[in-house]
Chain A
Amino acid sequence: MNKEKKLDKSTLKRLFGYILKKYKFQFFIVMILVILSSLTNVASSLFLQSLIDDYITPMLSETNPIFTPLLKALSTMACIYLVGILSTYLYNRIMAKISQGTLKSIRDEMFANMQKLPIRYFDTHTNGDIMSYYTNDTDTLRELISRGIPQIVSLVVTIVSTFIAMIYTSVYLTLLVIVILCIMLKVTKDIGGKSSTYFIRQQESIAKANGYIEEMINGQKVIKVFSHEEEAIENFKRINDSLCDDTTLANKYSNILMPSLANLGNIQFVLIGVVGGLLAINGIGGLTIGAIASFLNLSKSFSMPITQLAQQINLVVMAIAGAKRIFKLMDEEKEVDNGYVTLVNAKNVDGNIQEVDHYTGMWAWKHKHHDGRLEYVELKGHIELTNVDFGYQENKTILHDISLYAKPGQKIAFVGATGAGKTTITNLLNRFYDIEDGKIRYDGININKIKKADLRRSLGMVLQDVNLFTGTIKENIKYGNENATDEEVYEAAKLANADQFIMHLPNGYNTMIDGNGGSLSQGQKQLISIARAALNNPPVMILDEATSSIDTRTEKIVQDGMDKLMNGRTVFVIAHRLSTVRNSKAIIVLDHGRIIERGNHEDLIKQKGVYYRLYTGAFELE
């Protein structure tokens, strides 16, 4: 419990750190303005007390009442009011900038940090989880910063100044107020605490209902085909009912809190009147009747902000929870990169490789040895794995003792059932994950020494699930190389067999597509991703074939594009259709993370082992 509180505190501190970092001065000004604005409020209620005692009552006894002092006082008040109003306006305006600016820096930092997280993070967290950092959690922060903080400060100022005035007026009555205040706090803690518990439960219930709705609506056509409507409604009713129960409880307690506190305030008012009257009439504590009246007003200005403050508590609790989650994302361990071997443009001068500062079509690894010696190794695409072990979790080895090599220009195919470890091997090549034991060398250099960005630039990837980004088709292809000219983009698209269908689109290469490529067919999306990889033009390619069924004609076009892309490169293919692996230099058959067969197509067919059985259709791949 204590630890939790400490964490809450440090979370709040960190949150304020973000506000103060960029807006220290503005925030300071806002605080002054907020204080001014709430002091105006206090001044106003103080004035209302003196209005009767100091201005109106004296006039009553005059035969010819002079209104000048009242007019003067009212003019002074008008000026104070004006200051208050101006302060309120200014702090609201400045606060809008501060809160939005702070949220922007938090969001930006969150995203920038996320980009640097290792693939492992994305593999172990669901999309929905990550998305909620940017939506729900950021929203709670916005509420807190833009509305919560100024309101809380202003309420506290009002409460403190009123409290001082109360003590000044009557110590005895203040004690009474404190007793009732304690009851109010207790009520807030009880009802408010229950309300937050149920709100959290409601959140879970909503998530559950949404999950069910999403799954069932997505499968709605199956429901229709199986005439399963009745059962679907029945199940939905159950989940819906329990959501309703939780929502009712959560709202019930939060709805009750307000009237409870407000009426406790009223009761307090009555008690003060009665007790004050008793004290005054019996002459205890030197209390005058006028003082009771003003104390009554003070107690009202005291209990009202407390009621309002109680309402802010849910906001603060939720914002702290949101901030905690956001900071957790920010604090996730980033991908470490200790690589120092970099990729540079190079040219060959009399058999010596020299670094140059412009594009030559030739690349070299710049290897600075520990003894200060500088070595340039030409980028060729020679990959070698030696005794590699790997597991996604500790003590759970998935790949056992994998050794294989691919010489520049060779095509190596991985074949095996789901879970055999095909994708895992490719995850290691570009260091999405780091190996546990063994060595991977790229052109003879241990890949741990190569800067990750440069290593990945030298490895192209065409993945099973095509991921495109919202933008034009041209922009998507250019993802492979920002500096490519339009000509080069068209060349790459032609090589990938994508040019033809793109030219048929109404806006050609400038056709806008959304992230899912909604308007494009699966095959067309694949062609774009091949063009993207072609423009990148890396010496080594990793191809994960698509499994989804596309019709025979399109498949042929895609395959042809892939073949052209593979030409002249070192290629690792994760094969889902055996027809594409036959011309590989080597076929590696994997089973449960071990290499069980290897060789070219003819060798493996002769062996009459697993590959043979797969090939003849006795086994299925997926």
Chain B
Amino acid sequence: MIKKLIRSIKEYKRSTLLTPIFMVLEVAMEIIIPFLLAKLIDQGINQGDMDVILKIGGELLIAAFLSLFFGVQSGKNAAIASAGFAKNLRQDMYEKIQKFSFFNIDKFSTSSLVTRLTTDVTNVQQAFMMIIRGAVRAPITIIFAMLMAFTTNANIALVFLIASPILGALLILIAKKAHPIFERVFNTYDKLNNVVQENVKGIRVVKSFVKEDKEIKKFEKVSKSIYKDFSKAEMLLALNNPLMQFTIYTCITLISWLGAKCIVGGTLTTGELTSLISYAMQILSSLMLLAMIFVMITIAAESSERIIEVLDEEPDLKNGNNPVMEVKSGSIEFKNVSFSYVKDRNKLCLKNINLNIAEGQTIGIIGGTGSSKSTLVQLIPRLYDVSDGEIRVGGINVKDYDIKVLRDSVSMVLQKNELFSGTIIDNLKWGNKNATEEEIIRACKLAQADEFINGFIDKYETYIEEGGANLSGGQKQRLCIARAILKKPKILILDDSTSAVDTKTDSLIRKAFAREIPNTTKIIIAQRISSVEDSDNIIVLDNGEINGIGTHEELLKSNEIYKDVYESQVKGGTSNE
């Protein structure tokens, strides 16, 4: 698992390696300093020897400055390495996501992808910094300090050799016990956030039903359970500090006693006793650090698993060998096509579809919710792969094309109109980044968008807010259509893309299509009969199957569903006029 993440370190390998190296040097200095100090006391101050004091003092100063230098270098490199690592992780994930097919995206859901790119990366970044600094520092300190302690006096050093594993085990035990409680706390946190979010979003409902008090009680209940769980977890962690102190104090007492005996017995000097005690402190606080790192790693482990899931996900759509690099014509052919989102033959959304659409034709598709209209058209630009059968565009199986080439020739306006924050021009240029002003204006005129754009003060430079919040539904739809036209596609697909446009503009758009882009194959999914009635052919989809194909007149005669929809809409529109 770790191996996969490590790959993302890339150009930050140097900093990643320098951090622990400088850290080791810093720790070495930190170990040498108490050693020199002991000498300063024993040989310098206690003897009143100024020369020795100055000499050792000089050495000490050098050691301190070196330690400062190493510490700063290590800290600096740690910052560079961890921030860079996080950057690369995000970049790698983002690039991977760009390769995802619709199937991959559906599998993860957008909100979980967002969390993985943000919170999870931050968790891993913090753990990474902890590891390259602390995970090196703590064991090295322990080893160095142990070595020094044993060379000073092996018998006394045994005291902490015994004490440290016991303390370490206890600290990790506490952390392990607290972990599930913390996990529960975070789940409850989600619940609390959910209550707040629902209330902020639905404040008009709360206020108009006068339910403020009920909501406050609901919140207090969740808030109370957080209080309970969190106190419980923290009380468990409250054992940490006293446990630590207990070990330190026990060691000090034992070392004092044993040390005194040794000094009296002549096997230890007083200066050595002082440094032994400071070694004990170093070892024990390093253990504390190790326990903390352990907790960090458990938190980060879950996050890294979620990151690796993204990095490991295989895009299920790939270019074949020797892909075809040109789409010659806009004809479409469905041959016994079946499709399932979950790749399960028993859960088919499309069953045995056969279709033939000639270049330049206009095709309407009608059908209720769940009749798989969108699914059908999404197979044409290979947003999903068919489960069975094949689809040919321009006579060639869509799987044989280069995916980018295919999608550049098949332009699709999705049901959910997504515009991005930026100017209108920025958004339109998605269709073709080299589009000239004339081309842009022509596309907008075609989509009947030019007029309202010119009504804005900043015209084509008007800034669109995130999600197109400052545009009406109909305006958004028309911009999306213009954007799709700019690609100069061989096939243009509108997935319920004029629902918010008034009927007159709707018909103007269709007339412009017929006049200006006669050779483009046009597929129009709609709820309104009026949007499809003048198509060359209309497909009635029901439950993933073709219920009928024909012109408006033919279907009115032969197709029950079509007749039904037609009547309900016409009745709504013409009586009383």
Contact = CB atoms under 8 A, between A and B. Distances in A.
Interface stretch (A91-99, A316-324, A361-369, A491-499): A91-99
A112 to B, nearest CB: 5
B499 to A, nearest CB: 4
B87 A65 contact: no
A470 interface: yes
Interface in B1-31: 26
B435 to A, nearest CB: 13
Contacts of B418: 218-219, 221-222
A536 B72 contact: no
Contacts of A278: 50, 53
Contacts of A582: 576
B568 A556 contact: yes
A453 B210 contact: yes
Nearest to A249: B79
B48 A280 contact: yes
A221 B100 CA distance: 10
A217 B75 CA distance: 34
A122 B200 contact: yes
A263 to B, nearest CB: 4
B421 A456 contact: no
A289 B48 contact: yes
Nearest to B503: A617
Task: Tell me what chain B mostly uses at the interface: helix, strand, loop, or mixed.
Answer: helix
A590 to B, nearest CB: 15
B207 A432 contact: yes
B525 to A, nearest CB: 11
A620 B260 contact: no
Given A92-B238, A104-B226, A214-B114, A251 B500 contact: no
A93 B242 CA distance: 11
Interface stretch (A53-61, A155-163, A385-393, A436-444): A53-61
A259 interface: yes
B202 A258 contact: no
A344 interface: no
Interface in B187-238: 189, 192-212, 214-216, 219-220, 223-224, 226-227, 230-231, 234-235, 237-238
A116 B87 CA distance: 42
A48 B274 CA distance: 8
Given A112-B216, A269-B60, A467-B198, A293 B474 contact: no
Interface string B225-259: 01100110011011111100110010011001101
Interface string B56-83: 1100110111011011101110111011
Nearest to A246: B83
B98 A256 contact: no
Contact of A252 (B80, B369, B416): B80
Given A131-B200, A467-B205, A277 B227 contact: no
Interface stretch (B39-47, B322-330, B340-348, B390-398): B39-47
A548 B12 CA distance: 49
Given A51-B256, A108-B223, A220 B97 contact: yes
Contacts of B40: 270, 273
A93 B238 contact: yes
A266 B223 contact: no
A222 B381 CA distance: 12
Chain B CB within 10 Å, residue with most, of A71, A92, A453, A622: A622
B270 A52 contact: yes
B205 A215 contact: no
Given A70-B260, A131-B193, A549 B499 contact: yes
B504 A618 contact: yes
A225 to B, nearest CB: 5
B260 A622 contact: no
Contacts of B403: 227
Contacts of A222: 414, 418, 430
Contacts of A549: 496, 499-500, 527
A263 B57 contact: no
Interface stretch (A81-89, A169-177, A500-508): A81-89
Contacts of A130: 196, 200
B512 interface: no
Contacts of B277: 48
Interface in A262-302: 262-264, 266-267, 269-270, 273-274, 276-278, 280-281, 289, 292-293, 296-297
Interface string B524-535: 000100000000
B216 A115 contact: yes
B368 interface: yes
A9 B546 CA distance: 73
Interface string A456-471: 1101110100011110
Contacts of B408: 227
A149 interface: no
B54 to A, nearest CB: 6
B260 A59 contact: yes
Task: Tell me what chain A mostly uses at the interface: helix, strand, loop, or mixed.
Answer: helix
Contacts of A237: 91
B235 A93 contact: yes
Interface in B108-125: 110, 113-114, 117-118, 122, 125
B99 interface: yes
Nearest to B98: A229
Contacts of A553: 368
A292 B40 CA distance: 11
Contacts of A243: 87
A293 B227 contact: no
Interface string A529-559: 0001000100000000001011111101000
A127 B44 contact: no
Contacts of A101: 227, 231
B473 interface: yes
B128 to A, nearest CB: 11
B360 interface: no
A146 interface: yes
A218 B318 CA distance: 23
B208 A459 contact: yes
Given A93-B235, A217-B113, A86 B64 contact: no
A44 B256 CA distance: 11
A44 B252 contact: yes
A316 B259 CA distance: 42
B200 A236 contact: no
A601 interface: yes
Given A274-B53, A281-B50, A622-B474, A259 B231 contact: no
B151 interface: no
A97 to B, nearest CB: 5
A460 to B, nearest CB: 8
Given A112-B216, A273-B57, A554-B369, A224 B198 contact: no
A106 B452 CA distance: 49
A3 B403 CA distance: 62
A152 B250 CA distance: 25
B129 interface: yes
Contacts of B210: 453, 456-457
Interface string A542-585: 00000101111110100000000000000000000001001000
B381 A99 contact: no
Interface string A126-159: 0100110011000000000010000000000000
Contacts of B242: 85-86, 88-89, 92
Given A248-B79, A276-B45, A278-B50, A100 B230 contact: yes
A349 interface: no
The 10 closest A-B pairs by CB, nearest first: A259-B71, A255-B75, A467-B202, A620-B502, A92-B238, A96-B234, A251-B79, A263-B68, A244-B87, A247-B83
16 contacts: A89-B239, A92-B235, A112-B219, A131-B197, A209-B118, A210-B114, A228-B430, A244-B84, A256-B71, A259-B71, A270-B64, A482-B214, A515-B201, A579-B573, A602-B576, A621-B502
Given A112-B216, A243-B87, A620-B474, 11 more contacts: A111-B216, A210-B114, A221-B414, A226-B487, A248-B80, A252-B75, A255-B133, A273-B60, A289-B45, A521-B369, A622-B474
